[in-house]
Amino acid sequence: MKKLLVLSLLASGFLTAAALAAPAADNWDNNCAKCHGADGSGNTKMGKKLNVKDYTDAKVQADLKDADMFTAIKEGVTANGKERMKAFKDDLSDAEIHDLVTFIRQMKK
């Protein structure tokens, strides 16, 4: 009986954590769209300045690896010692980052 209770509490804790995670579309709108654009094209003032990738382009999508996108979102992106994209490891869970990668994959035309 104790084992069942412990398992139930653990399961409810995981479900609660999952319920608290923001949907990928909300995370995209709140954290990514400013530079990458609502549609992922990078057609924004900041996106053009940073020369971000066009996630609606099938070739760009084909060249991207899920693991690389995950790492870029989690750890951020730097080039020539300058931060090009902030790290989201303190703002998003691994599950939310995985969901964002899936969300980006759906932008391909």
Q: What mean pLDDT is predicted for residues 9-15? A: 52
On average, the pLDDT of the chain sits at 87
Q: What mean pLDDT is predicted for residues 41-55? A: 96
Q: Is the pLDDT of residue 10 over 90?
A: no
Q: What mean pLDDT is predicted for residues 48-54? A: 95
Domain-embedded: residue 81: yes
Domain-embedded: residue 1: no
Domain that holds residue 53: 22-105
Domain-embedded: residue 13: no
Domain-embedded: residue 52: yes
Domain-embedded: residue 51: yes
Give the pLDDT score at 3.
Answer: 56
Distance CA 86, CA 58 (A): 25
Q: What is the CATH number of the domain that holds 26?
A: 1.10.760.10
Q: Is the pLDDT of residue 39 over 90?
A: yes
Domain-embedded: residue 77: yes
Give the pLDDT score at 53.
Answer: 95
Domain-embedded: residue 16: no
Domain-embedded: residue 100: yes
Long-range contacts of residues 24-29, Cβ cutoff 8 Å, at least 24 apart: 24/96, 24/99, 24/100, 24/102, 24/103, 25/103, 27/92, 27/96, 27/99, 27/100, 27/103, 28/100, 28/103
CA dihedral 92, 34, 56, 87 (to 10 degrees): -30
The count of domains in the chain is 1
Q: What mean pLDDT is predicted for residues 6-22? A: 53
pLDDT digits (tens, 9 = 90+) for 53-85: 999 999 999 999 999 999 999 999 999 999 999
3-state SS class at 79: strand
